[in-house]
Amino acid sequence: MPLYESPAVVLRSMKLGDTDKIITFFTLYYGKLKAVAKGTTKPKSRFAGRVEPFVYCNMIAFGKEKADLLRLNSCDIIEPFGLVRGDFEKLKHAFVSAELVDICQKERDTNMEGFELLLAMWRRLSVEGDARKQDLLLRLFELKYMSTIGFHPFLKSCVDCGGDIIGPKAGFNAIKGGVVCHKCITSDPAASRVFVGSVKLMGKSLEMPFEKLDRLKADPGLQGDIDKIVAGFVKYHIRRNMRSERFLAL
């Protein structure tokens, strides 16, 4: 039977019977994979503490080539992300990022850029104590992640007329996936009004490595816009509400 060995993060774990768990991994080499961890809830399990959400590990699993469910053989922790699990504010942001990846990643569809992005997000979240900054980082993560799976927002010129974006106000149309200029916004009822500064900040974030995003500053007006734009953009493309989104309001 083929052997699957890869750096991986745990997106989700679900109880199976009395002692087992189904673990959803996002792996570097194989994309999303699901594996059964046998005896996980037994006191002396070799998986104890290793198959919790947000753990970054090196996993080895067995299974037939096209099997939906593999069998987990081992899981060696690389980074436990205990700081994320131990803090409610950080935890809820991590949950939203993990759920988005879980929804969007097809099984066995590799996305190395998305994998590195998720790791970078959790590393930043581990050390970021400011809840507002965590909100902004989450939205910018979502924007960058959507771009890795082919949903790249169009932010350089107007999606309706191709014209330049001149401030202070513009629009964003989630259905068309981009910015609308000050002239077209009056005839585009689906576009929500936003500051041009918000659009520029999002554009900049798409060109920067995630590790440097904490340099970007957004006042409450811009942050409110980014929150609204990205949440709408994600919801339109994934065609559903994320369950974990409601945690953000707690």
- State the minimum distance, in angstroms, from the CB of residue 233 to Zn ion: 18
How many residues of this chain bind Zn ion (CB under 5 A)? 6
Regarding 160 and contact with Zn ion (CB under 5 A), the answer is: yes
Q: Which alpha helices (DSSP H) does 77-130 contain, by range?
A: 82-85, 88-104, 112-127
DSSP letter string, 40-88:
TTSTT-TTTTTSSTT-EEEEEEE--TT-SSEEEEEEEEEE--HHHHT-H
From 23-31, 44-52, 181-189, 200-208, span contacting Zn ion (CB under 5 A): 181-189
Of 161 and 175, which has the nearer Cβ to Zn ion? 161
Amino acid in the structure at residue 164: D
- Choose the stretch contacting Zn ion; rule: CB under 5 A; options: 34-42, 124-132, 150-158, 166-174: 150-158
Q: Which is nearer to Zn ion, 75 or 181 (CB)?
A: 181
Closer CB to Zn ion, 2 or 163, in the complex:
163
CB of 183 to Zn ion, least distance (A): 5
Do the Cβ atoms of 198 and 220 come closer than 8 Å? no
238/174 Cα distance (integer angstroms): 12
Q: How far is the CB of 154 from Zn ion (least distance, A)?
A: 12
Stretch touching Zn ion by CB under 5 A, among 13-21, 45-53, 72-80, 160-168: 160-168
Q: Look at residue 247 and give its three-state secondary structure.
A: helix
Pick the binder of Zn ion from 2, 86, 163, 221 (CB under 5 A). 163
Interactions with Zn ion, residue window 61-120 (CB under 5 A): none
Give the list of residues 6+ apart from residue 20 with CB closer than 8 angstroms, or none.
36, 37, 38, 39, 40, 41
Q: Which is closer to Zn ion, CB of 112 or CB of 161?
A: 161
Minimum gap (Å) between residue 222 Cβ and Zn ion: 21
- For residues 205 to 244, the per-residue mask of contacts with Zn ion, x marking binding by CB under 5 A and - elsewhere, is ----------------------------------------
Stretch that binds Zn ion, among 70-78, 104-112, 157-165, 204-212 (CB under 5 A): 157-165
Please identify, using beta-carbon distances, which residue of 120 and 159 lies nearer to Zn ion: 159
Query: Which residues sit opposite 62 in a β-bridge?
Result: 3, 71
**Kind and range of the H or E element at 37?**
strand 31-37
Output the six-digit token pair for 142. 């979502």
Confirm if 59 and 6 have CB atoms less than 8 A apart: yes
**Which amino acid, one-letter code, is at 94?**
A
Residues that bind Zn ion (CB under 5 A): 158, 160-161, 163, 181, 184
